[in-house]
């Protein structure tokens, strides 16, 4: 097997993950990212965005590029919020929280906290409120959300703001923050929606673009009939193949040994170490 891989003769088929249908038209799409891009591009004529105090208008191709970029940020925020509130994570990001790196500077931290709380409370419903507290000994921020007398507490610490997703968001944050911090609106077929941040845009775009299509997600090649299998995966003129390569023979052998060998402890340690960094397609 090693010789086959080293000589470049081993390939893995890359079948599509989705079939998208509207009327009699069908298209196969490779992955989630390309699906999002296809749906947005197909619906862009129905979308207009306004942002800032001067209600700067964006539409057409510039809006398409902007939406794709904002959705990338939204997905990072959603990933970062698996054990937290997406509204809190988003507001903390938009108000400079990920630029802190640590909680040592009390003045900077207080400024971020106050701006985050103000942003969270902009569109509150009746009997809804956010407030916060800071534990200086453990360097933990606690944000409390109260709605209809039901209270929930969320924590942000220095580990949270230094996770990979937070670093990626901070690295390209300036233009995204400028769009949302002064208020942004999305017009969909003449109906206007207020956007508190990237997550709201992602939700509204998803809701609108997917309702016009029948989207089938393939869990495996067994769900395709013979004609579909040929068209998407076997036809030499249309298929996509991924070449299997050994970039580092020793590292590859070590990894295969951990994941597929008889040493259960090594496999358990690997899974525990990298579990939080895994990107799982769900």
pLDDT of residue 248: 64
Name the pLDDT band for 251 (thresholds 50, 70, 90). Answer: confident
Q: What is the pLDDT of residue 282?
A: 47
**Sheet containing strand 128-135, strands side by side:** 128-135, 140-147, 150-157
**CA separation for the pair 225, 231 (Å, rounded):** 10
pLDDT at 278 > cutoff 70: no
For residues 113 and 121, the answer to whether their CB atoms sit within 8 Å is no
Q: Are 45 and 274 in contact (CB under 8 A)?
A: no
Q: Please give the order of strands across the beta sheet that includes 214-217.
A: 25-29, 18-22, 214-217
Instruction: Report the alpha-carbon distance of residue 1 to residue 9 in Å, rounded.
Output: 10
Average pLDDT of span 69-86: 94
Distance between CA 165 and CA 93 in Å, rounded? 11
Q: What is the pLDDT at residue 125?
A: 83
Mean pLDDT of 91-99: 96
- Residue 280, pLDDT > 60, answer no
CA distance 212 to 214: 7
Mean pLDDT value of segment 67-86: 94
User: pLDDT digits over 127-137, tens only?
Assistant: 899 999 999 99
Q: Are 81 and 92 in contact, with CB atoms under 8 Å apart?
A: no
Long-range contacts for 140-144 (Cβ within 8 Å, ≥24 apart)? 141/103, 141/109, 141/113, 143/85, 143/88, 143/116, 143/117
Phi-psi region at 46: left, alpha or beta (left = phi > 0; alpha = psi -120 to 50): alpha
Q: Quick one: pLDDT band at residue 212, thresholds 50, 70, 90?
A: confident
Nearest to 220 by CA among 231, 211, 209, 233: 233
Least confident window among 37-41, 80-84, 257-261, 268-272: 257-261
How high does pLDDT run on average in the chain?
A: 89
In angstroms, the CA 195 to CA 222 distance is 41
């Amino acid at each position: 097997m090693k010789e086959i891989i080293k000589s470049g003769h081993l390939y893995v088929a890359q079948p599509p993950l989705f079939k998208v249908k509207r009327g009699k038209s069908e298209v196969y799409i490779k992955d989630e990212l390309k699906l999002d891009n296809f749906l947005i591009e197909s619906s862009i004529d129905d979308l207009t965005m306004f942002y800032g105090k001067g209600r700067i208008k964006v539409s057409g191709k510039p809006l398409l590029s902007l939406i794709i970029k904002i959705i990338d940020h939204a997905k990072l925020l959603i990933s970062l919020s698996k054990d937290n509130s997406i509204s809190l994570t988003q507001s903390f990001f938009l108000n400079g929280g990920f630029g802190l790196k640590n909680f040592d500077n009390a003045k900077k931290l207080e400024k971020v906290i106050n701006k985050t709380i103000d942003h969270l409370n902009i569109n509150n419903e009746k009997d809804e409120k956010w407030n916060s507290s800071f534990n200086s000994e453990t360097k933990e921020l606690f944000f409390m959300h109260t709605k209809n007398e039901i209270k929930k507490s969320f924590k942000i610490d220095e580990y949270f703001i230094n996770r990979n997703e937070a670093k990626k968001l901070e690295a390209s944050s300036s233009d995204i923050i400028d769009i949302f911090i002064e208020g942004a609106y999305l017009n969909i077929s003449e109906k206007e929606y207020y956007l508190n941040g990237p997550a709201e845009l992602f939700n509204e775009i998803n809701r609108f673009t997917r309702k016009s299509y029948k989207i089938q997600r393939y869990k495996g090649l067994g769900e395709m009939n013979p004609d579909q299998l040929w068209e998407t995966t076997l036809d030499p003129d249309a298929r996509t193949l991924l070449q299997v390569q050994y970039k580092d023979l020793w590292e590859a052998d070590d990894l295969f040994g951990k994941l597929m060998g008889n040493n259960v402890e090594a496999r358990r340690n690997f899974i525990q170490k990298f579990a939080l960094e895994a990107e799982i397609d769900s």
